[in-house]
Chain A
Amino acid sequence: MSSLLRLATAGSVDDGKSTLVGRLLYDTKSVLADQLDAVTRASVDRGLSTPDLSLLVDGLRSEREQGITIDVAYRYFATPRRSFVLADTPGHVQYTRNTVTGASTAQLAVLLVDARNGVVEQTRRHAAVLALLGVPRLVLAVNKIDLVDYDEATFAVIANEFATHATSLGYAEGEVLSIPVSALQGDNVAVKSERTPWYAGPTLLEHLEEVPVAPDPHDAAFRFPVQYVIRPRTPEYPDYRGYAGQIASGSVRPGDEVVVLPHGLRSRVAAIDTADGPLAEAGSGTSVTLLLEDDLDISRGDLIAIADRPPRVTDELTAVLCWLSGKPLSPGARVLVKHGTRTVQALVDEIGSRFDEQTLTTVDSPGTLALNDIGTVSLRLAEELPVDDYGDSPRTGAFLVIDPKDGDTLAAGLIGERFA
């Protein structure tokens, strides 16, 4: 079992995400005495009789003033069984882009709903975004169960509706779990509640500790975007030429035949170097420096791949975009595409369809994509890129869309036709 779980929270506004995260930190004893003192003092100042745990996480002045979470925050906590990195994301519609931010690296997402309201538009939208990004597992925390008198039937209706929705998005039964909780009272967060005797499943924390984390597919093809060329030109290393980068997928060993894209030059790996000495093998996620047998002209932006399973090289992309900007996208727009370590100019040819997360259907030729829209577009690139489909290799199947005028990140791009 992996020792580290990366998770994200998502949910509608005012459904108690910050309180739930505060409760998780508090119940795992991840809150130290001075932090709790500060929250207790601030709660007393606000006229509250018990510490408001949401104040542990709502770190910005305007968040505390408004009692809402504005921006994604990262939290670190641990139990004896596992360490957690939690991306705590806001629920407001205008901040859905932060949900995409938090979920792009998550292995599991906890969606919150208010038991009084059940599954709402924002729940469906967030679940669709999580499915699109390939987050492997979902948990629905049916919060404020105390406010519906711990009613089993209310919970069952919500859990069923959510399970149906998640299944239609492609989740298997074992990948989705609903848990009745009260973040405020602590029911079923870290401690099993006696007030929900009808619920036989794990507490949220038990589930987070036990849930299997899908490992990187062992047979993934080797992909290595070149970040930087290391050429010391020192008396000690006069001829050293190393290609530095982080392995995006697969693994590599000295002797492997590789191809350098987009040009297509071939060579073999002579050595895998690090500051701590050479390695006999290196796997996905590792930052290393590759030395090749031949003296090739390779620079930042090139991709080194295993020669017998190369990515496709293309100057046309069909991709799903999560549009994260207030500036809408229209056909004919000129944008930048940042893929791996290469940034190229691109022209938006066509917006083929927009996904409707309410009806789970697609709308053909929607004309534009606006904030929070998810749609399929065709892009023409000024230079060829070596790409994989996002479903096969997320790191080499993902890209950013950047506004060339001000540098803003406009969209998350996923190569392939997921909703077409």
Chain B
Amino acid sequence: MTTLEPATDAAQDNLAALESEAIHIFREVAGEFDRPVILFSGGKDSTLLLHLAIKAFWPAPVPFPLLHVDTGHNFDEVIAFRDEVVRRHGLRLVVANVQDWIDDGRLVERPDGTRNPLQTQPLLDTISEHRFDAVFGGGRRDEERARAKERIFSLRNSFGQWEPRRQRPELWNLYNGRHRPGEQVRVFPLSNWTEADVWHYIAREGVDLPSIYYAHQRKVYERDGMLLTEGPWGGPRAGEDVRELTVRYRTVGDGSCTGAIESSASTVDEVIAEVLASRLTERGATRADDRLSEAAMEDRKREGYF
């Protein structure tokens, strides 16, 4: 929930403070946990997360693997970007394919075809299989009002569930990572960043992002007021006309519920200018899954989603 302001000198100081805070959080987890993992989807927030992790441990390598829950409905450009980043930095990537869970019957495809809510089970199963005890996510408190309630260190019970009434008080910068066997801690180093901070920092650091964050020609069709692209998620249906438009993406997620916006912003600076002028939040503009109910995000978080 934020008004986006251009980056002044004061804003640059603010970015430096946010960077120091995130680096501190990465190092705390490295010092206190046995088996941390970074959730990495190739989107801008998780790419920023990885960038900060690399800075936190430089000149040593990042001491954590990456985990991607692949819905099978991802954008080709994003998967290619993911694999290139892993190769370039010599990282280890664990992939949980939602399709595997559907194929062996642990999950059932939803009638509406969206696979975003189906990510929770593969995520929890994979955390448990690898005995990950700290799981970094790129969630920001400004994204959504249930996320505004999230702690930086967020204890999840042995079912991976979030219980907002029983959160630990978080005092000063003393993070309590204690947990019992089977419990895990979700860690959010970008908690205090806003969408504007993320873009200003991407500009300052020259962070590479998947190409679909910038304007490109794409064949899209309209559904529920969103511009969806053709793909294996069942579109377009009869009556949904495909048009070729100049678009870009503000968020990157499952193709079945992530919409494009019409845009000619093809550089970071043009994107920042566009984001500053927008009267819609990034999720409100382009994420169908958050529109399902008044508490959609909270309900998914309680089940174990990020």
Contacts and interface: CB of A to CB of B under 8 A. Distances in A.
B56 A100 contact: no
Interface stretch (B14-22, B67-75, B124-132): B14-22
Nearest to B299: A61
Nearest to B194: A76
A71 B165 contact: yes
A4 B10 contact: yes
Sorted nearest first, the 10 A-B pairs with minimum C-beta distance are A407-B178, A3-B10, A34-B284, A59-B145, A275-B58, A275-B55, A232-B60, A287-B23, A287-B20, A101-B169
A227 B141 contact: no
Interface stretch (A142-150, A234-242, A351-359): A234-242
Given A33-B279, A59-B148, 12 more contacts: A30-B1, A38-B294, A56-B145, A59-B147, A62-B165, A76-B2, A287-B20, A398-B174, A402-B176, A407-B178, A409-B169, A409-B171
Given A25-B1, A73-B149, A409 B59 contact: no
B281 A57 contact: no
A407 B295 CA distance: 30
Interface string A216-247: 00000000000110111110110010001110
Contacts of B172: 104-105, 394-395, 398
A231 B60 contact: yes
B191 to A, nearest CB: 7
A227 B28 contact: yes
B217 interface: no
Contacts of B158: none
A285 B20 contact: yes
A234 B59 contact: yes
Contacts of A35: 1, 281, 284
Contacts of B173: 105, 246, 395
B146 A76 contact: no
B115 to A, nearest CB: 24
Interface in A91-126: 97-98, 100-101, 104-105
A380 interface: no
Contacts of B174: 338, 340, 398-400
A324 B2 contact: no
A78 B19 CA distance: 19
Contacts of B298: 59-61
25 contacts: A32-B279, A32-B284, A34-B280, A34-B281, A56-B1, A73-B149, A78-B2, A80-B5, A83-B14, A85-B192, A227-B30, A228-B31, A230-B59, A230-B60, A232-B61, A237-B59, A240-B60, A246-B20, A246-B23, A274-B58, A275-B56, A286-B16, A398-B171, A400-B171, A412-B169
B191 A74 contact: yes
Interface in B44-99: 54-61
B56 to A, nearest CB: 7
Interface of A: 3-4, 25, 28-35, 38, 42, 56-62, 64, 70-78, 80, 83, 85, 97-98, 100-101, 104-105, 227-228, 230-234, 236-237, 240, 244-246, 274-276, 285-287, 300, 324, 336, 338, 340-341, 394-395, 398-400, 402, 406-409, 412
A335 to B, nearest CB: 12
A406 B182 CA distance: 12
B285 interface: yes
Contacts of A85: 192
Contacts of B294: 38, 42, 61, 64
B280 A32 contact: yes
A60 B31 contact: no
Contacts of A246: 20, 23-24, 173
A60 B278 contact: no
Contacts of B192: 74, 76, 85
A225 B132 CA distance: 26
A369 to B, nearest CB: 15
Contacts of B207: none
A397 B14 CA distance: 25
B164 interface: yes
Nearest to A95: B165
B171 A287 contact: no
B267 interface: no
Contacts of A59: 144-149, 298
Interface in B111-140: none
Given A35-B281, A77-B2, A83-B14, A324 B169 contact: yes
B284 to A, nearest CB: 3
B166 to A, nearest CB: 9
A96 to B, nearest CB: 10
A28 B165 contact: no
A306 B16 CA distance: 24
B241 interface: no
B279 A408 contact: no
Given A60-B149, A61-B298, A3 B171 contact: no
A228 to B, nearest CB: 4
B90 to A, nearest CB: 10
Contacts of A4: 10, 13-14, 17
B168 interface: yes
A185 B81 CA distance: 50
Contacts of B17: 4, 285
B11 interface: yes
B27 A245 contact: yes
A71 B149 contact: yes
A29 B21 CA distance: 27
A227 B61 CA distance: 16
B280 A33 contact: yes
A246 B298 CA distance: 33
A30 B3 contact: yes
B167 interface: yes
A31 B56 contact: no
B168 A408 contact: yes
Contact of A409 (B61, B168, B280, B285): B168
A151 to B, nearest CB: 34
Contacts of A72: 149
A406 to B, nearest CB: 7
